[in-house]
Amino acid sequence: MNELRVVGAANIVAVCYLCNVAGEELRCECACLGTGNGYVHYLCLKASATAANASWVEGDGIDSFISPWKVCGLCHNNYGSRFAMTMAVHFVRSVQENFRPVTDNWKQIESKYYMMSVQLSLQHRMSDWQKDNVMKNANLIMCLIKHEGGSRLTLTSRRWKSIVSNCFQARGVIMLMCGGPESVNNALHEFSMQRSMAASNNDQTGVMRAHRLIEYLEDDFRAGEDLEDYAFQLTLVD
């Protein structure tokens, strides 16, 4: 088996911190890089995260359900974007394979929402299929939340409203990226829906963010401007 040397420490052989085995396929895309720690196999991390989800109980909180898939267990920092995207895909598949869709709809929602968020953060020059995936995920998340209904939706309505608000923003950004004569108006509609949802959730930060997106689009956009570059600028508005 070929060995992988630790970046910045040529005499140290990298080993997976979960299985303690070396190999070229190891990855380290977190704050551990260069320390000799944090190297891991995708399959080992997937198995560890799946096991953590299996022992998870609702009282632990939603963040602890997602955390094994996106945060290094050693340095406790988020994984880099490409690694995060791979783990997000594994997360969605794990939830689909291991949890019942009727009783665990919210787990589907959380996993797909995380994947959508990672997709948007990867790069502003997304391929057409990536844009289509973000839009499909946003629409599916909203449909799942609508279908969830009942007491669980009542108990966690603030979380669901926050997710739907962000889905409206994602749809607006993708509409701009896709271009077309109605892109600006369609995006403005999505950002307006984002603002309304945030307001119904008493989320003043969300309201201000949506308001700034609308204001930015109404005041700064110029005819003939590259809509995809413009959409990327919108994702940077705090």
Burial of 148 (0-12, 13-18, 19+ CB in 10 A): middle
pLDDT given for residue 45 in this prediction: 92
Q: Is residue 53 part of a domain?
A: no
Domain carrying residue 202 = 125-238
If you search the block for the tokens 């409203």, which residue do you land on? Answer: 161
Q: Is residue 138 part of a domain?
A: yes
Q: Is residue 60 part of a domain?
A: no
Sign of CA dihedral 204, 210, 229, 173: positive
Q: Is residue 238 part of a domain?
A: yes
Inter-residue contact 125 to 228 (CB < 8 Å): yes
Question: Between these two residues, 180 and 67, which has the higher pLDDT value?
Answer: 67
Reported confidence tier of residue 151, pLDDT bands at 50, 70, 90: very low
Sequence-ordered list of residues with C-beta below 8 angstroms from that of 232, at least 6 positions apart, any chain: 124
pLDDT given for residue 194 in this prediction: 92
Chain segment 78-137, per-residue pLDDT in tens? 888 778 888 888 888 888 888 765 556 677 788 888 877 777 766 556 778 778 888 888
pTM of the model: 0.68
pLDDT at 221 over 80: no
Q: Is residue 213 part of a domain?
A: yes
pLDDT given for residue 1 in this prediction: 44
Reported confidence tier of residue 148, pLDDT bands at 50, 70, 90: low
Partnered with residue 78 across adjacent β-strands are 71
Chain segment 54-74, per-residue pLDDT in tens? 888 777 777 888 899 989 989
Chain segment 3-30, per-residue pLDDT in tens? 545 444 555 678 899 999 887 788 888 8
Integer angstrom CA distances of residue 235 from 25, 215, 225, 230: 33, 14, 16, 9
Residue 22 φ then ψ, to 5°:
-85, 175
If you search the block for the tokens 């974007």, which residue do you land on? Answer: 81
pLDDT given for residue 189 in this prediction: 94
Chain segment 28-38, per-residue pLDDT in tens? 888 888 777 88
Sequence-ordered list of residues with C-beta below 8 angstroms from that of 208, at least 6 positions apart, any chain: none
Q: How many structural domains is the chain composed of? A: 1
